[in-house]
Amino acid sequence: MINRRHWLKSAAAASAISAPSASPAQAPSPWRIEKGRIRQSVVHWNMKPLTVVELADAAAALGMRSVELIGPEHWPLLKARGLTCAIAGSHGFSKGFAHVEEHAECIAKLTQSIDACVAHGVERVITFSGFRRGTDDDTARKNMVQGLKQILPYAEKNKITLCLEMLNSKVSEEMKGHPDYWCDHIGTALSLCQEIGSPRMKILFDLYHVQIMDGDLIRNFQRCQEYIGHIHTAGNPGRGELDDTQEINYPPIMRAIAESGYEGFVGQEFIPRSTDKVAALATAVRLCDV
């Protein structure tokens, strides 16, 4: 009940953004997704101090489909609320397939995550290149292909899609950028997927990171579309809310995604500056419901 009261209070505040004014005797109803052409999800780490339960309650009340990048121990509570986990975690971004010496650890963690996904009906697992740490591009690329090809047969057998995330290497502020990250351009992620040639090897297309490194978001989405397995959002600069203080115009981007026939999820991964995380989420969800 505490979680429900928190949600109702925040959602009512968020609904007032564009809802007609109500009479004093008639409080506004919490807003819910209306069009649903974009399958919306939300990441948990950036919404703390909300607990997984609080965030799941808020997501369900908004009509969202998923809370993602949380551990399998939380997936049953998502199912009880009509939600899923759109994409599961694995080995983290600090280690990855750009280094041969890290392959065994990455493969072990991906295998564990794939097994959990199979048991719970989750379809995607995130993976990363890791940092350069002095490795030249040709060697890192060769290592990436070699390592990913070792785990992909297991992913293919279990019908789980691996999503390689491109991260920006420009911004030095913690969790807003990742200096020295190897796969830091969308063209790199695309060419790797093309070279590997597996239907279970896709890109996690993070609009925030792509904007910083490459821009031209709609055209970059369109040229990568065949290889996109998941999408993330955030405002730029600052990775804050999807509002008029930032440079990414989300509605036309969401319309392009919806009109493309993309059937995956769009995960809200912005870091709210507001103390009311649920109201910030409701605003972003409404903006992306095109």
CATH number of the domain where residue 70 is located: 3.20.20.150
% of the chain exceeding 90 in pLDDT: 89
pLDDT in tens, 239-281: 999 999 999 999 999 999 999 999 999 999 999 999 999 999 9
Written as six digits, the tokens of 215 are: 């821009």
Q: Are 162 and 132 in contact (CB under 8 A)?
A: no
Written as six digits, the tokens of 228 are: 């996109």
Between 194 and 16, the higher pLDDT residue:
194
pLDDT in tens, 170-190: 999 999 999 999 999 999 999
| Residue 13: per-residue pLDDT | 44
| Residue 23: per-residue pLDDT | 39
* Residue 91 domain flag: yes
Residues facing residue 273 across a β-bridge = none
Residues facing residue 165 across a β-bridge = 204
* Residue 204 domain flag: yes
Count of domains in the chain? 1
Side-chain-side CA neighbours of 258 within 13 Å: the count stands at: 15
For the chain, what is the mean pLDDT?
Answer: 92
pLDDT of residue 7 exceeding 90: no
Dihedral angle over CA of 209, 213, 218, 221, nearest 10:
-70
Q: How far apart, in whole angstroms, are the C-alpha atoms of residue 191 and residue 260?
A: 21
* Residue 16 domain flag: no
* Residue 245 domain flag: yes
Q: Are 165 and 127 in contact (CB under 8 A)?
A: yes
Q: How far apart, in whole angstroms, are the C-alpha atoms of residue 28 and residue 49?
A: 26
pLDDT in tens, 133-168: 999 999 999 999 999 999 999 999 999 999 999 999
* Residue 123 domain flag: yes
* Residue 30 domain flag: no
* Residue 28 domain flag: no
Q: What is the side-by-side strand order in the sheet with 228-233? A: 66-68, 39-43, 265-268, 228-233, 201-206, 161-165, 124-127
Domain that residue 86 falls in: 38-288
Pairing of strands 39-43, 265-268: parallel
pLDDT in tens, 92-124: 999 999 999 999 999 999 999 999 999 999 999
At 28, the pLDDT band (50, 70, 90 cuts) reads: low
Amino acid (one-letter) located at 258: A
The secondary structure of residue 217, as a DSSP letter, is H
At 19, the pLDDT band (50, 70, 90 cuts) reads: very low
Total-model pTM = 0.91
**How many angstroms from the chain centroid is the CA of residue 238?**
17
H helices, E strands: number in the chain: 10, 7
Task: State in Å, rounded, how far the first CA of the chain is from the last one.
Answer: 32
| Residue 25: per-residue pLDDT | 43
* Residue 19 domain flag: no
Which residues, other chains included, contact 139 with Cβ-Cβ below 8 Å and sequence gap of 6+?
none
